[in-house]
Amino acid sequence: MEAGIEPVDQYVGEFIEKAALDWFNDYRLRVASGAVVHKSRGDAQIRQGAFANLAGSVLAA
């Protein structure tokens, strides 16, 4: 949990969209109750790097 990764066994077998929405709703409720403190992790910056790598490999092909 220290890395911000949580087990999601309770959503096994659900369609991914429903599972993601259920997980986010549960997370939102835990943040609202104070059980969890939300941390910004800079995800958008990581995604940009992944996108740049993908674009570079597609253009090189």
Tens of pLDDT along the chain (61 residues)?
A: 566 677 777 777 777 888 888 989 999 999 999 998 988 776 655 566 666 666 666 666 5
Query: What's residue 12's pLDDT?
Result: 76
The domain ranges of the chain are 9-60
CA dihedral 4, 31, 49, 52 (to 10 degrees): 130
Query: What's residue 25's pLDDT?
Result: 93
Spell out the alpha helix ranges (H) of 1-61. 16-33, 43-60
φ and ψ at residue 10, rounded to 5 degrees = -70, -10
